[in-house]
């Protein structure tokens, strides 16, 4: 038997008074987080939630997130974390598709009325029986009349609870993948998947009770959930929560709390690099910071090198997927680090680069990255056809194009679906982006394919310029043409003030494609 909630229970037993989660001026220790999670579990049981039921959760990076997450697990149920940016129809789709019985939703703000949208989506799905609104303070009434709050659920519940015994292969969490191809699919991750990956992550970054982690990556996303929250709880680290990335806020919290571990997506590192205000003692911040972690998308080498140079802190880049709980490969201190690579396989995971028939490709040859190990999901929830396609011959097929070098380091070339085929020739956007990032005026770039009558597809780049820099679109095209093979340079360049990004800070190329009509 195994229940992922053992992570919290064990640490609460060993370090009850240790600071667990801090948000603004509120700090809760491990005993308080565990006690509150027990109250949530008891509340869910009294509501009729049983082993195997699905419970959805929409919440910012607040102490409520781990409290409810572990409360759901303790009740023997499955957590279905949802993006805080989903709209009514998307929420209804996720509740229906996951067969959620109950839904916890944060009230939100005037700018982002999550509670209202969540409730509107919930009302469309009669099978989802309970809606619980999370208010900023437990004693506040719900913003919608007659709606139950988290405070109502917890009131009168005991802070002691015996967790429901679940099997190691029972589903602990259903994580919805971003749905770049069709509707989002729910990856079923087991208690064993998530526990093993949290332990691997804690080992990778040598997390200890002395560490303070800054969590600005959204907790509903598998990267923050496993690599920061679960690994941090497992080792008894202190966690500082920030609901939204803002470079000034990040530096302020790093200085105030002497943060030692920071994890972000590439656009966050880009944001930190471009923040030059003289408000902080960057030397002290950098001296406290011992590890920076990057994942979620490929980190431009230029950003990695400039960050290294400015802060003297190495960024360890890795690769993961929701389907892999998520960590698959990482640059590891013991093995070494290669800028631009996603490192080597983590403990217990096998990785290969293969052709379309699953034959291993020679060193340096492009193919699809596949992997197997204790981190691989059970499958997509109720999607047998997708499972047959993705989980073939016992291997998880990533859909990512990669190469392996002679030292066993892997490099992601691009997503299979992002590849541009121009006149029958394959062009990988990542390669074009890396070249364009070297131009002195370019700060950020996204390359994608646009329809072309003769060529099938043509290459377009959307560019954000550095502050105070100027460059004409024609000049950028000419400059890139000089630095890359003739069939790869962008025929179209558009200069924008900003690129559209997801809640996790990934550049949304599908939004850029939509603009093409």
Q: How many CA atoms lie within 13 A of 445 on its CB side?
A: 31
Residue-level pLDDT at 124: 98
Helix, strand, coil percent values for the chain (each to nearest 5):
30, 25, 40
Residue-level pLDDT at 63: 98
The pair phi, psi for residue 137, each rounded to 5°, is -120, 140
The encoded tokens of residue 109 equal 């703000």
How far is Cα 218 from Cα 175, in angstroms, rounded to an integer? 13
CA 150 to chain centre: 25
Residue with structure tokens 């940016």? 85
Q: Is 202 helix (H, G, I), strand (E, B) or coil?
A: helix
How far is Cα 19 from Cα 237, in angstroms, rounded to an integer? 8
Instruction: Give the H/E segment covering residue 20.
Output: strand 19-23
Q: Please list the residue range(s) of the chain that carry CATH number 3.40.50.980.
A: 28-167
For the domain 419-515, what is the CATH code?
Answer: 3.30.300.30
Q: Please list the residue range(s) of the chain that carry CATH number 3.30.300.30.
A: 419-515
How far is Cα 246 from Cα 256, in angstroms, rounded to an integer? 15
Residue-level pLDDT at 182: 66
By the 8 A CB rule, do 145 and 52 touch?
no
Residue-level pLDDT at 178: 67
CATH class, 28-167 region: alpha beta
Residue-level pLDDT at 105: 98
The conformation of residue 383, written as its DSSP 8-state character, comes to -
The conformation of residue 38, written as its DSSP 8-state character, comes to H
Task: pLDDT tens for the chain, 517 residues: list them.
Answer: 999 999 999 999 999 999 999 999 999 999 999 999 999 999 999 999 999 999 999 999 999 999 999 999 999 999 999 999 889 999 999 999 999 999 999 999 999 999 999 999 999 999 999 999 999 999 999 999 999 999 999 999 999 999 999 999 999 999 998 654 568 899 999 999 999 999 999 999 999 999 999 999 999 999 999 999 999 999 999 999 999 999 999 999 999 999 999 999 998 999 999 999 999 999 999 999 999 999 987 888 989 999 999 999 999 999 999 999 999 999 999 999 999 999 999 999 999 999 999 999 999 999 999 999 999 999 999 999 999 999 999 999 999 999 999 999 999 987 777 889 888 787 889 889 989 999 999 999 999 999 988 888 999 999 999 999 999 999 999 999 999 988 899 999 999 999 999 888 889 998 999 888 6
Residues 6 or more apart whose Cβ sits within 8 Å of residue 126? none
Burial classification of residue 445, based on how many CB atoms lie within 10 Å of its CB (0-12 exposed, 13-18 middle, 19 or more buried): buried
Residue-level pLDDT at 38: 98
Residues 6 or more apart whose Cβ sits within 8 Å of residue 139? 151
For helices 64-74 and 6-14, what crossing angle results, to 10°? 110
Q: What is the pLDDT of residues 83-120, one digit of tens each?
A: 998 899 999 999 999 999 999 999 999 999 999 999 99
């Amino acid at each position: 038997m195994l229940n992922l909630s053992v992570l919290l229970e064990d640490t609460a037993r060993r370090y009850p008074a240790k600071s667990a989660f801090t948000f603004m001026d509120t700090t809760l220790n491990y005993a308080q987080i565990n006690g509150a999670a027990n109250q949530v579990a008891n509340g869910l049981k009294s509501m009729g939630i049983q082993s195997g039921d699905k419970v959805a959760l929409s919440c910012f990076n607040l102490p409520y997130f781990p409290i409810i997450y572990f409360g759901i697990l303790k009740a023997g149920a499955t957590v279905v974390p949802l993006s805080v940016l989903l709209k009514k129809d998307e929420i209804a789709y996720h509740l229906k598709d996951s067969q959620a019985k109950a839904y916890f939703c944060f009230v939100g703000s005037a700018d982002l009325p999550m509670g209202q949208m969540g409730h509107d989506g919930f009302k469309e799905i009669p099978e989802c029986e309970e809606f619980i609104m999370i208010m900023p303070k437990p004693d506040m009434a719900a913003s919608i009349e007659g709606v139950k709050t988290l405070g109502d659920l917890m009131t009168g519940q005991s802070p002691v609870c015996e967790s429901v015994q679940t099997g190691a292969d029972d589903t602990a969490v259903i994580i919805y993948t971003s749905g770049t191809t069709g509707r989002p699919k729910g990856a079923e991750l087991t208690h064993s998947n998530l526990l093993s990956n949290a332990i691997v992550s804690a080992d990778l970054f040598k997390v200890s009770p002395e560490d303070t982690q800054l969590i600005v990556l959204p907790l509903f996303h598998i990267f923050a959930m496993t690599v920061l929250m679960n690994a941090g709880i497992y080792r008894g680290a202190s966690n500082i929560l920030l609901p939204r990335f803002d470079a000034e806020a990040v530096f302020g919290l790093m200085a105030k709390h002497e943060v030692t571990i920071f994890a972000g997506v590439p656009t966050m590192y880009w944001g930190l690099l471009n923040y030059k205000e003289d408000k902080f003692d960057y030397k002290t911040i950098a001296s406290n910071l011992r590890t920076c972690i990057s994942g979620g998308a490929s980190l431009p080498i230029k950003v990695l090198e400039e960050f290294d140079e400015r802060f003297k802190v190495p960024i360890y880049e890795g690769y993961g997927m929701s389907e892999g709980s998520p960590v698959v490969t990482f640059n590891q201190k013991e093995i070494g680090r290669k800028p631009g690579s996603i490192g080597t396989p983590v403990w217990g995971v096998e990785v290969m680069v293969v052709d379309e028939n699953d034959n291993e490709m020679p060193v340096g040859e492009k193919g699809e990255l596949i992997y197997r190990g204790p981190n691989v999901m059970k499958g997509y929830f109720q999607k047998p056809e997708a499972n047959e396609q993705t989980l073939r011959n016992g291997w998880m097929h990533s859909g990512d194009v990669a190469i392996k070098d002679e030292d066993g380091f892997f490099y992601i070339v691009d997503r299979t679906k992002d590849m541009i085929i121009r006149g029958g020739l394959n062009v990988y956007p990542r390669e074009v982006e890396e070249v364009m990032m070297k131009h002195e005026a370019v700060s950020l770039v996204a390359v994608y394919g646009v329809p072309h009558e003769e060529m099938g597809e043509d290459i377009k780049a959307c560019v954000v310029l550095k502050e105070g820099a100027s460059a004409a679109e024609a000049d950028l095209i000419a400059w890139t043409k000089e630095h890359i093979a003739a069939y790869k340079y962008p025929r179209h360049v558009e200069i924008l003030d900003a690129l559209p990004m997801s809640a996790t800070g990934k550049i949304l190329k599908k939004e850029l494609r939509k603009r093409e009509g």
